[in-house]
Chains A and B, each alone.
Chain A
Protein backbone atom coordinates (compact mmCIF):
# COMPACT_ATOMS: atom_id res chain seq x y z
CA UNK A 1 0.00 0.00 0.00
CA UNK A 2 1.42 3.42 -0.96
CA UNK A 3 1.88 5.89 1.90
CA UNK A 4 -0.38 8.47 0.21
CA UNK A 5 -3.23 6.02 -0.27
CA UNK A 6 -2.75 4.77 3.29
CA UNK A 7 -2.88 8.31 4.65
CA UNK A 8 -6.39 8.99 3.43
CA UNK A 9 -7.92 5.77 4.76
CA UNK A 10 -9.61 5.45 8.12
CA UNK A 11 -9.43 2.65 10.64
CA UNK A 12 -12.59 0.93 9.36
CA UNK A 13 -11.31 1.09 5.75
CA UNK A 14 -7.92 -0.32 6.67
CA UNK A 15 -9.39 -3.14 8.75
CA UNK A 16 -11.71 -3.99 5.84
CA UNK A 17 -8.71 -4.07 3.47
CA UNK A 18 -6.94 -6.53 5.73
CA UNK A 19 -10.02 -8.69 6.17
CA UNK A 20 -10.61 -8.85 2.41
CA UNK A 21 -6.96 -9.51 1.61
CA UNK A 22 -6.70 -6.31 -0.43
CA UNK A 23 -3.76 -5.30 1.75
CA UNK A 24 -1.69 -7.09 4.33
CA UNK A 25 -1.28 -5.77 7.85
CA UNK A 26 2.47 -5.67 7.20
CA UNK A 27 2.06 -3.43 4.14
CA UNK A 28 -0.13 -1.10 6.17
CA UNK A 29 2.29 -1.06 9.11
CA UNK A 30 5.16 -0.28 6.74
CA UNK A 31 3.18 2.56 5.18
CA UNK A 32 2.43 3.95 8.64
CA UNK A 33 6.06 3.67 9.72
CA UNK A 34 7.17 5.40 6.51
CA UNK A 35 4.92 8.35 7.38
CA UNK A 36 6.14 8.35 10.96
CA UNK A 37 9.69 8.66 9.61
CA UNK A 38 8.83 11.33 7.04
CA UNK A 39 6.34 13.45 8.93
CA UNK A 40 6.75 12.64 12.61
CA UNK A 41 9.77 14.96 13.01
CA UNK A 42 8.25 17.68 10.83
CA UNK A 43 5.27 18.10 13.17
CA UNK A 44 7.18 16.94 16.25
CA UNK A 45 4.33 14.57 16.95
CA UNK A 46 6.18 11.44 18.10
CA UNK A 47 8.52 10.83 21.02
CA UNK A 48 9.02 7.10 20.39
CA UNK A 49 8.53 4.68 17.52
CA UNK A 50 7.66 1.04 18.24
CA UNK A 51 8.84 -0.30 14.89
CA UNK A 52 9.70 -3.87 15.93
CA UNK A 53 6.48 -4.29 17.85
CA UNK A 54 4.45 -2.90 14.94
CA UNK A 55 5.97 -5.30 12.43
CA UNK A 56 5.64 -8.22 14.84
CA UNK A 57 1.97 -7.47 15.61
CA UNK A 58 1.18 -6.91 11.93
CA UNK A 59 2.77 -10.27 11.09
CA UNK A 60 0.56 -11.90 13.74
CA UNK A 61 -2.55 -10.41 12.11
CA UNK A 62 -1.46 -11.66 8.69
CA UNK A 63 -0.73 -15.11 10.10
CA UNK A 64 -4.18 -15.24 11.72
CA UNK A 65 -5.78 -14.36 8.41
CA UNK A 66 -3.69 -17.00 6.61
CA UNK A 67 -4.99 -19.58 9.10
CA UNK A 68 -8.54 -18.59 8.22
CA UNK A 69 -9.31 -17.11 11.65
CA UNK A 70 -11.96 -14.46 12.10
CA UNK A 71 -10.15 -11.15 12.51
CA UNK A 72 -10.98 -8.72 15.32
CA UNK A 73 -12.53 -5.32 14.44
CA UNK A 74 -9.31 -3.28 14.30
CA UNK A 75 -7.09 -5.93 12.73
CA UNK A 76 -4.06 -4.30 11.15
CA UNK A 77 -5.04 -0.71 12.04
CA UNK A 78 -1.99 1.37 13.05
CA UNK A 79 -2.38 3.53 16.14
CA UNK A 80 -0.28 5.69 18.44
CA UNK A 81 -0.79 6.88 22.01
CA UNK A 82 -0.13 10.03 24.02
CA UNK A 83 3.06 9.32 25.90
CA UNK A 84 1.32 9.22 29.28
CA UNK A 85 0.00 5.72 28.50
CA UNK A 86 2.14 2.79 29.58
CA UNK A 87 3.55 0.86 26.64
CA UNK A 88 5.51 -2.26 27.56
CA UNK A 89 9.21 -1.59 27.01
CA UNK A 90 8.92 2.22 26.85
CA UNK A 91 9.43 4.71 29.63
CA UNK A 92 6.18 6.58 30.20
CA UNK A 93 7.23 10.20 29.79
CA UNK A 94 3.98 12.09 30.40
CA UNK A 95 5.73 14.93 28.60
CA UNK A 96 8.18 15.40 31.46
CA UNK A 97 11.99 15.39 31.54
CA UNK A 98 11.91 14.03 35.08
CA UNK A 99 10.20 10.84 33.89
CA UNK A 100 13.08 9.99 31.52
CA UNK A 101 14.89 8.45 34.49
CA UNK A 102 12.14 5.99 35.29
CA UNK A 103 12.35 2.35 34.14
CA UNK A 104 10.32 1.24 31.13
CA UNK A 105 6.75 0.08 31.66
CA UNK A 106 6.45 -3.66 32.04
CA UNK A 107 2.94 -3.89 30.56
CA UNK A 108 0.58 -1.89 28.38
CA UNK A 109 -2.07 0.37 29.91
CA UNK A 110 -5.48 -1.32 29.91
CA UNK A 111 -6.84 0.68 26.97
CA UNK A 112 -3.67 0.12 24.93
CA UNK A 113 -3.91 -3.61 25.61
CA UNK A 114 -7.59 -3.63 24.63
CA UNK A 115 -6.87 -1.92 21.30
CA UNK A 116 -4.06 -4.40 20.66
CA UNK A 117 -6.42 -7.26 21.50
CA UNK A 118 -8.82 -5.82 18.93
CA UNK A 119 -6.05 -6.20 16.36
CA UNK A 120 -4.70 -2.63 16.28
CA UNK A 121 -0.97 -2.24 15.69
CA UNK A 122 0.92 0.24 17.88
CA UNK A 123 3.48 2.35 15.99
CA UNK A 124 4.58 4.82 18.66
CA UNK A 125 4.11 7.28 21.50
CA UNK A 126 3.09 10.90 21.02
CA UNK A 127 4.23 14.29 22.28
CA UNK A 128 2.09 16.16 24.81
CA UNK A 129 2.10 18.97 27.36
CA UNK A 130 4.18 18.23 30.44
CA UNK A 131 1.91 16.22 32.77
CA UNK A 132 -1.03 17.19 30.52
CA UNK A 133 -1.18 20.69 32.03
CA UNK A 134 -2.06 23.07 29.18
CA UNK A 135 -3.89 23.52 25.88
CA UNK A 136 -1.06 24.32 23.45
CA UNK A 137 1.57 21.50 23.57
CA UNK A 138 4.54 23.84 23.57
CA UNK A 139 6.63 21.47 25.62
CA UNK A 140 9.87 22.96 27.00
CA UNK A 141 11.63 19.56 26.91
CA UNK A 142 10.32 17.91 23.76
CA UNK A 143 9.40 20.96 21.69
CA UNK A 144 6.15 22.33 20.31
CA UNK A 145 3.86 20.12 18.24
CA UNK A 146 3.12 21.88 14.93
CA UNK A 147 -0.38 21.93 13.48
CA UNK A 148 -0.36 20.13 10.09
CA UNK A 149 -2.91 22.64 8.75
CA UNK A 150 -0.54 25.55 9.50
CA UNK A 151 2.87 24.67 10.85
CA UNK A 152 3.31 28.06 12.48
CA UNK A 153 0.41 27.28 14.82
CA UNK A 154 -0.16 25.02 17.79
CA UNK A 155 -1.86 21.64 17.50
CA UNK A 156 -3.72 22.27 20.75
CA UNK A 157 -3.19 20.35 23.95
CA UNK A 158 -2.57 18.60 26.00
CA UNK A 159 -2.97 15.72 23.50
CA UNK A 160 -1.25 17.74 20.75
CA UNK A 161 0.76 14.88 19.27
CA UNK A 162 -2.42 12.79 19.12
CA UNK A 163 -4.29 15.34 17.01
CA UNK A 164 -1.32 16.24 14.78
CA UNK A 165 -0.60 12.58 13.95
CA UNK A 166 -4.18 12.25 12.69
CA UNK A 167 -4.26 15.51 10.74
CA UNK A 168 -0.93 14.59 9.12
CA UNK A 169 -2.31 11.21 8.01
CA UNK A 170 0.35 9.33 9.96
CA UNK A 171 -2.13 7.08 11.77
CA UNK A 172 -5.94 6.82 11.66
CA UNK A 173 -6.32 6.28 15.42
CA UNK A 174 -4.71 7.79 18.51
CA UNK A 175 -5.39 7.88 22.22
CA UNK A 176 -5.55 11.03 24.31
CA UNK A 177 -6.55 12.07 27.79
CA UNK A 178 -8.90 14.85 28.85
CA UNK A 179 -8.94 16.45 32.29
CA UNK A 180 -10.44 19.78 31.27
CA UNK A 181 -10.53 19.56 27.48
CA UNK A 182 -7.27 17.92 26.42
CA UNK A 183 -8.89 15.64 23.83
CA UNK A 184 -11.46 18.14 22.59
CA UNK A 185 -9.27 21.23 22.19
CA UNK A 186 -6.57 19.57 20.05
CA UNK A 187 -9.18 17.63 18.07
CA UNK A 188 -10.95 20.88 17.19
CA UNK A 189 -7.77 22.80 16.36
CA UNK A 190 -6.46 20.04 14.07
CA UNK A 191 -9.84 19.30 12.47
CA UNK A 192 -10.24 15.74 13.73
CA UNK A 193 -12.71 13.83 15.94
CA UNK A 194 -12.40 13.05 19.62
CA UNK A 195 -14.44 11.37 22.31
CA UNK A 196 -14.24 12.22 25.99
CA UNK A 197 -16.41 9.48 27.46
CA UNK A 198 -18.34 9.68 30.73
CA UNK A 199 -16.04 9.90 33.76
CA UNK A 200 -15.34 6.31 34.76
CA UNK A 201 -16.31 4.71 31.45
CA UNK A 202 -12.82 3.83 30.21
CA UNK A 203 -10.07 2.49 32.43
CA UNK A 204 -7.16 4.79 33.23
CA UNK A 205 -5.04 1.93 34.59
CA UNK A 206 -1.52 2.44 33.25
CA UNK A 207 -2.11 6.07 32.32
CA UNK A 208 -0.13 8.72 34.21
CA UNK A 209 -2.81 10.68 35.99
CA UNK A 210 -2.97 14.47 36.29
CA UNK A 211 -6.00 15.30 38.45
CA UNK A 212 -7.61 11.98 39.18
CA UNK A 213 -11.12 13.18 40.01
CA UNK A 214 -11.27 14.83 36.57
CA UNK A 215 -9.12 12.56 34.38
CA UNK A 216 -10.66 10.76 31.41
CA UNK A 217 -9.06 8.86 28.51
CA UNK A 218 -10.50 8.47 25.03
CA UNK A 219 -9.97 7.88 21.31
CA UNK A 220 -9.22 10.39 18.54
CA UNK A 221 -9.76 9.61 14.84
CA UNK A 222 -10.69 11.15 11.48
CA UNK A 223 -14.28 9.87 11.46
CA UNK A 224 -17.08 9.15 13.89
CA UNK A 225 -17.28 5.54 12.69
CA UNK A 226 -13.64 5.04 13.63
CA UNK A 227 -14.20 6.77 16.96
CA UNK A 228 -16.94 4.28 17.77
CA UNK A 229 -14.89 1.26 16.66
CA UNK A 230 -12.08 2.24 19.03
CA UNK A 231 -14.38 3.28 21.86
CA UNK A 232 -16.29 0.00 21.77
CA UNK A 233 -13.04 -1.97 21.76
CA UNK A 234 -11.82 -0.19 24.91
CA UNK A 235 -14.95 -0.42 27.04
CA UNK A 236 -15.32 -2.66 30.07
CA UNK A 237 -14.86 -2.67 33.82
CA UNK A 238 -11.35 -2.66 35.28
CA UNK A 239 -10.82 -3.16 39.00
CA UNK A 240 -7.30 -1.73 38.61
CA UNK A 241 -8.72 1.79 38.15
CA UNK A 242 -10.65 2.94 41.20
CA UNK A 243 -12.67 5.37 39.07
CA UNK A 244 -13.62 2.84 36.40
CA UNK A 245 -17.31 2.01 36.62
CA UNK A 246 -18.39 -1.59 37.06
CA UNK A 247 -20.59 -1.45 33.98
CA UNK A 248 -21.13 -3.91 31.18
CA UNK A 249 -19.88 -3.03 27.73
CA UNK A 250 -22.54 -0.90 26.03
CA UNK A 251 -21.56 -0.85 22.34
CA UNK A 252 -22.26 2.44 20.61
CA UNK A 253 -21.88 1.06 17.10
CA UNK A 254 -25.48 -0.17 16.69
CA UNK A 255 -26.75 3.33 17.54
CA UNK A 256 -24.84 5.05 14.73
CA UNK A 257 -27.41 4.02 12.15
CA UNK A 258 -30.32 5.45 14.13
CA UNK A 259 -29.86 9.05 13.02
CA UNK A 260 -31.13 11.88 15.18
CA UNK A 261 -34.88 11.41 14.83
CA UNK A 262 -36.45 11.86 18.23
CA UNK A 263 -33.42 13.49 19.79
CA UNK A 264 -33.99 16.86 21.48
CA UNK A 265 -30.96 18.95 20.57
CA UNK A 266 -30.24 22.34 22.08
CA UNK A 267 -27.52 24.95 21.62
CA UNK A 268 -25.64 26.08 24.72
CA UNK A 269 -26.07 29.81 25.16
CA UNK A 270 -25.08 32.33 27.82
CA UNK A 271 -21.48 31.63 28.89
CA UNK A 272 -20.88 29.45 25.82
CA UNK A 273 -22.03 32.15 23.42
CA UNK A 274 -20.14 34.88 25.24
CA UNK A 275 -16.85 32.93 25.25
CA UNK A 276 -16.94 31.86 21.58
CA UNK A 277 -15.23 34.08 19.01
CA UNK A 278 -16.93 35.02 15.76
CA UNK A 279 -15.48 32.11 13.76
CA UNK A 280 -16.43 29.60 16.45
CA UNK A 281 -19.96 31.02 16.56
CA UNK A 282 -20.19 30.64 12.80
CA UNK A 283 -19.08 26.98 13.01
CA UNK A 284 -21.61 26.36 15.77
CA UNK A 285 -24.38 27.93 13.67
CA UNK A 286 -23.57 25.54 10.81
CA UNK A 287 -23.76 22.56 13.16
CA UNK A 288 -26.97 23.74 14.84
CA UNK A 289 -28.64 24.27 11.48
CA UNK A 290 -27.60 20.82 10.23
CA UNK A 291 -28.99 19.24 13.39
CA UNK A 292 -32.17 21.31 13.36
CA UNK A 293 -31.30 22.55 16.84
CA UNK A 294 -33.48 25.55 17.44
CA UNK A 295 -33.85 25.50 21.19
CA UNK A 296 -31.38 27.26 23.46
CA UNK A 297 -30.04 25.71 26.66
CA UNK A 298 -28.73 27.80 29.52
CA UNK A 299 -26.40 25.85 31.78
CA UNK A 300 -26.19 26.75 35.46
CA UNK A 301 -23.29 28.71 36.92
CA UNK A 302 -20.68 27.76 34.32
CA UNK A 303 -18.20 30.42 35.46
CA UNK A 304 -18.18 28.87 38.92
CA UNK A 305 -17.80 25.39 37.43
CA UNK A 306 -14.70 26.54 35.59
CA UNK A 307 -13.34 28.17 38.74
CA UNK A 308 -13.95 25.07 40.84
CA UNK A 309 -12.39 22.84 38.18
CA UNK A 310 -9.35 25.12 38.11
CA UNK A 311 -8.87 24.73 41.87
CA UNK A 312 -9.37 20.95 41.85
CA UNK A 313 -6.95 20.52 38.94
CA UNK A 314 -4.24 22.68 40.50
CA UNK A 315 -4.61 21.06 43.89
CA UNK A 316 -4.74 17.40 42.81
CA UNK A 317 -2.00 17.90 40.20
CA UNK A 318 0.32 19.56 42.69
CA UNK A 319 -0.26 16.89 45.33
CA UNK A 320 0.57 14.16 42.81
CA UNK A 321 3.95 15.78 42.06
CA UNK A 322 4.75 17.14 45.50
CA UNK A 323 7.79 14.93 46.07
CA UNK A 324 9.39 16.07 42.80
CA UNK A 325 8.40 19.69 43.45
CA UNK A 326 10.35 19.51 46.71
CA UNK A 327 13.52 18.05 45.25
CA UNK A 328 13.56 18.54 41.46
CA UNK A 329 11.45 21.62 40.77
CA UNK A 330 14.06 23.07 38.42
CA UNK A 331 13.59 20.13 36.07
CA UNK A 332 9.90 20.89 35.40
CA UNK A 333 8.72 22.87 32.38
CA UNK A 334 8.59 26.40 33.80
CA UNK A 335 4.93 26.80 32.85
CA UNK A 336 3.80 23.70 34.71
CA UNK A 337 6.23 24.21 37.60
CA UNK A 338 4.86 27.62 38.56
CA UNK A 339 1.29 26.36 38.42
CA UNK A 340 2.03 23.20 40.39
CA UNK A 341 3.92 25.16 43.05
CA UNK A 342 0.98 27.52 43.43
CA UNK A 343 -1.40 24.56 43.44
CA UNK A 344 0.52 23.00 46.33
CA UNK A 345 -0.41 26.04 48.43
CA UNK A 346 -4.19 25.79 48.06
CA UNK A 347 -5.94 25.56 51.45
CA UNK A 348 -7.89 22.32 51.99
CA UNK A 349 -11.10 24.28 52.58
CA UNK A 350 -10.89 25.78 49.07
CA UNK A 351 -10.47 22.35 47.53
CA UNK A 352 -13.43 21.01 49.49
CA UNK A 353 -15.53 24.02 48.52
CA UNK A 354 -14.75 23.23 44.89
CA UNK A 355 -15.78 19.58 45.30
CA UNK A 356 -18.98 20.57 47.10
CA UNK A 357 -19.83 22.92 44.28
CA UNK A 358 -19.13 20.08 41.87
CA UNK A 359 -21.76 17.90 43.55
CA UNK A 360 -24.30 20.73 43.17
CA UNK A 361 -23.34 21.36 39.53
CA UNK A 362 -23.58 17.67 38.67
CA UNK A 363 -27.15 17.53 39.98
CA UNK A 364 -28.11 20.66 38.01
CA UNK A 365 -26.63 19.21 34.82
CA UNK A 366 -28.66 16.04 35.30
CA UNK A 367 -31.75 18.25 35.54
CA UNK A 368 -30.82 19.97 32.27
CA UNK A 369 -30.83 16.58 30.54
CA UNK A 370 -34.40 16.00 31.60
CA UNK A 371 -35.33 18.52 28.92
CA UNK A 372 -32.77 17.86 26.21
CA UNK A 373 -30.79 14.89 24.87
CA UNK A 374 -27.83 16.65 23.25
CA UNK A 375 -26.23 20.01 23.92
CA UNK A 376 -24.17 21.54 21.11
CA UNK A 377 -21.41 24.04 21.89
CA UNK A 378 -18.31 25.37 20.16
CA UNK A 379 -15.18 23.45 21.17
CA UNK A 380 -12.72 26.33 21.33
CA UNK A 381 -13.10 30.11 21.50
CA UNK A 382 -10.82 30.63 18.48
CA UNK A 383 -8.86 28.60 15.88
CA UNK A 384 -5.27 27.47 16.55
CA UNK A 385 -3.06 30.26 17.86
CA UNK A 386 0.50 30.89 16.63
CA UNK A 387 3.25 28.93 18.38
CA UNK A 388 4.76 31.23 21.00
CA UNK A 389 1.71 33.50 21.22
CA UNK A 390 1.12 34.76 24.74
CA UNK A 391 -2.44 35.94 24.11
CA UNK A 392 -5.39 35.69 21.75
CA UNK A 393 -8.15 38.21 21.40
CA UNK A 394 -11.67 37.31 22.48
CA UNK A 395 -14.11 40.15 21.97
CA UNK A 396 -11.50 42.73 22.95
CA UNK A 397 -10.01 40.79 25.86
CA UNK A 398 -6.51 39.28 25.76
CA UNK A 399 -6.50 35.63 26.86
CA UNK A 400 -3.45 33.36 27.37
CA UNK A 401 -3.82 30.32 25.07
CA UNK A 402 -2.14 27.82 27.39
CA UNK A 403 -4.93 28.16 29.95
CA UNK A 404 -7.82 29.72 27.99
CA UNK A 405 -8.18 27.66 24.80
CA UNK A 406 -10.21 25.35 27.06
CA UNK A 407 -12.72 27.99 28.12
CA UNK A 408 -15.57 26.02 26.50
CA UNK A 409 -14.54 22.51 27.51
CA UNK A 410 -13.94 22.70 31.29
CA UNK A 411 -17.52 22.59 32.48
CA UNK A 412 -18.40 19.34 30.71
CA UNK A 413 -15.38 17.50 32.14
CA UNK A 414 -16.21 18.97 35.54
CA UNK A 415 -19.63 17.32 35.27
CA UNK A 416 -18.09 14.10 33.88
CA UNK A 417 -20.38 14.15 30.83
CA UNK A 418 -19.67 12.32 27.56
CA UNK A 419 -18.68 14.66 24.73
CA UNK A 420 -17.94 13.92 21.08
CA UNK A 421 -16.02 16.60 19.20
CA UNK A 422 -16.10 16.81 15.41
CA UNK A 423 -14.70 19.34 12.94
CA UNK A 424 -16.98 21.72 11.06
CA UNK A 425 -16.14 22.58 7.47
CA UNK A 426 -15.22 26.20 6.93
CA UNK A 427 -13.01 28.47 4.91
CA UNK A 428 -10.16 28.97 7.38
CA UNK A 429 -8.31 26.99 10.00
CA UNK A 430 -10.11 24.00 11.54
CA UNK A 431 -12.71 24.47 14.24
CA UNK A 432 -14.94 21.97 15.98
CA UNK A 433 -18.12 21.58 17.97
CA UNK A 434 -18.89 19.58 21.08
CA UNK A 435 -21.89 17.26 21.25
CA UNK A 436 -22.67 16.65 24.90
CA UNK A 437 -25.02 13.98 26.28
CA UNK A 438 -26.23 12.78 29.66
CA UNK A 439 -23.93 10.51 31.69
CA UNK A 440 -23.38 7.08 30.09
CA UNK A 441 -25.07 8.17 26.84
CA UNK A 442 -22.02 8.29 24.60
CA UNK A 443 -24.22 6.62 21.99
CA UNK A 444 -26.44 9.70 21.84
CA UNK A 445 -23.53 12.15 21.50
CA UNK A 446 -22.04 9.96 18.77
CA UNK A 447 -25.32 9.74 16.85
CA UNK A 448 -25.43 13.52 16.71
CA UNK A 449 -21.77 13.63 15.66
CA UNK A 450 -22.39 11.13 12.88
CA UNK A 451 -25.42 13.15 11.75
CA UNK A 452 -23.11 16.10 11.08
CA UNK A 453 -20.95 13.94 8.82
CA UNK A 454 -24.01 12.65 6.98
CA UNK A 455 -25.33 16.20 6.59
CA UNK A 456 -22.07 17.04 4.83
CA UNK A 457 -20.87 19.72 7.24
CA UNK A 458 -18.20 17.71 9.04
CA UNK A 459 -15.21 16.09 7.32
CA UNK A 460 -11.93 15.42 9.08
CA UNK A 461 -9.28 15.81 6.41
CA UNK A 462 -5.59 15.07 6.22
CA UNK A 463 -3.86 18.44 5.83
CA UNK A 464 -3.00 19.04 2.18
CA UNK A 465 0.64 19.81 2.92
CA UNK A 466 1.05 16.62 4.92
CA UNK A 467 -0.45 14.57 2.11
CA UNK A 468 2.07 15.95 -0.38
CA UNK A 469 5.06 15.85 1.94
CA UNK A 470 4.40 12.30 3.04
CA UNK A 471 4.58 11.06 -0.55
CA UNK A 472 8.07 9.88 -1.49
CA UNK A 473 9.30 11.08 -4.92
CA UNK A 474 8.83 8.56 -7.76
CA UNK A 475 11.79 6.18 -7.95
Chain B
Protein backbone atom coordinates (compact mmCIF):
# COMPACT_ATOMS: atom_id res chain seq x y z
CA UNK B 1 0.00 0.00 0.00
CA UNK B 2 1.45 3.38 -1.02
CA UNK B 3 1.62 6.43 1.20
CA UNK B 4 -1.07 8.04 -0.96
CA UNK B 5 -3.31 5.01 -0.38
CA UNK B 6 -2.75 5.32 3.36
CA UNK B 7 -3.51 9.06 3.26
CA UNK B 8 -6.81 8.45 1.46
CA UNK B 9 -7.65 5.58 3.79
CA UNK B 10 -6.98 7.73 6.86
CA UNK B 11 -9.08 10.66 5.62
CA UNK B 12 -12.04 8.50 4.60
CA UNK B 13 -12.13 6.37 7.77
CA UNK B 14 -11.50 9.30 10.13
CA UNK B 15 -14.52 11.05 8.62
CA UNK B 16 -16.66 7.90 8.73
CA UNK B 17 -15.76 7.23 12.38
CA UNK B 18 -16.00 10.82 13.60
CA UNK B 19 -12.29 10.94 14.48
CA UNK B 20 -10.40 14.24 14.41
CA UNK B 21 -6.76 13.60 13.54
CA UNK B 22 -4.58 16.43 14.84
CA UNK B 23 -1.92 17.30 12.22
CA UNK B 24 0.76 16.57 14.84
CA UNK B 25 -0.45 12.96 15.13
CA UNK B 26 -0.95 12.31 11.43
CA UNK B 27 2.49 10.83 10.73
CA UNK B 28 2.19 8.45 13.68
CA UNK B 29 -1.25 7.27 12.62
CA UNK B 30 -0.09 6.85 9.01
CA UNK B 31 2.89 4.78 10.15
CA UNK B 32 0.55 2.52 12.13
CA UNK B 33 -1.86 2.20 9.22
CA UNK B 34 1.05 1.12 7.04
CA UNK B 35 2.02 -1.47 9.68
CA UNK B 36 -1.55 -2.81 9.81
CA UNK B 37 -1.65 -3.04 6.00
CA UNK B 38 1.62 -4.97 6.10
CA UNK B 39 0.10 -7.44 8.56
CA UNK B 40 -2.95 -7.90 6.39
CA UNK B 41 -0.74 -8.56 3.36
CA UNK B 42 0.82 -11.40 5.38
CA UNK B 43 -2.64 -12.86 5.79
CA UNK B 44 -3.61 -12.33 2.18
CA UNK B 45 -1.96 -15.50 0.88
CA UNK B 46 -3.96 -17.73 3.21
CA UNK B 47 -6.56 -20.02 1.69
CA UNK B 48 -9.63 -18.77 3.53
CA UNK B 49 -11.77 -21.42 1.89
CA UNK B 50 -10.14 -23.86 4.33
CA UNK B 51 -11.67 -21.93 7.25
CA UNK B 52 -15.04 -20.75 6.03
CA UNK B 53 -16.69 -19.87 9.34
CA UNK B 54 -15.73 -16.51 10.75
CA UNK B 55 -15.11 -16.39 14.51
CA UNK B 56 -16.15 -15.53 17.13
CA UNK B 57 -19.04 -17.95 17.13
CA UNK B 58 -22.30 -16.56 18.43
CA UNK B 59 -24.01 -18.67 21.05
CA UNK B 60 -27.63 -17.71 21.74
Residue positions of A touching B, CB distance < 8 A: 213, 301, 303-304, 306-308, 310-311, 314, 322, 325-326, 329-330, 334, 337-339, 341-346, 350, 352-360
Q: Please, what's the 1-or-0 string for B13-45, where 1 marks a CB less than 8 Å from any CB in chain A? A: 110011111100100110111011011101100
In the docked arrangement, what's the CA distance between A350 and B36, Å? 10
Interface SS of A by simple majority: helix
Give, as a whole number of angstroms, the nearest-CB distance from A326 to chain B: 5
Q: Could you tell me how many residues of chain B have their Cβ less than 8 Å away from some Cβ of chain A?
A: 32
Given A344-B19, A360-B51: A307 touches B28 (CB 8 Å cut-off): no
Indicate if the CB atoms of B22 and A329 lie closer than 8 Å. yes
In the docked arrangement, what's the CA distance between A350 and B18, Å? 20
Residue positions of B touching A, CB distance < 8 A: 9-10, 13-14, 17-22, 25, 28-29, 31-33, 35-36, 38-40, 42-43, 46, 48, 50-56
Q: B25 is contacted by which of A308, A311, A338, A345 (Cβ under 8 Å)?
A: A338
Indicate if the CB atoms of A357 and B43 lie closer than 8 Å. yes
Given A329-B20, A353-B48: A359 touches B39 (CB 8 Å cut-off): no
Indicate if the CB atoms of B36 and A346 lie closer than 8 Å. yes
Indicate if the CB atoms of B36 and A304 lie closer than 8 Å. no
Residues on A with C-beta less than 8 A from B29 are 338, 341-342
Which residue of the partner chain A has the closest CB to B59? A242
Given A326-B18, A344-B17, A345-B33: A307 touches B39 (CB 8 Å cut-off): yes
CB pairs A–B below 8 angstroms (10 shown): A304-B43, A307-B43, A311-B39, A334-B28, A341-B21, A344-B19, A345-B33, A353-B46, A356-B52, A359-B51
Residues on A with C-beta less than 8 A from B52 are 356
Counting chain B CB atoms within 10 Å of each CB, the highest count among A338, A341, A358 belongs to A341
Given contacts A307-B38, A342-B29, 7 further A-B contacts (CB under 8 A): A301-B46, A307-B39, A308-B43, A330-B22, A338-B31, A352-B54, A357-B48
In the docked arrangement, what's the CA distance between A353 and B32, Å? 19
Indicate if the CB atoms of B40 and A311 lie closer than 8 Å. yes
Residues on B with C-beta less than 8 A from A337 are 25, 28
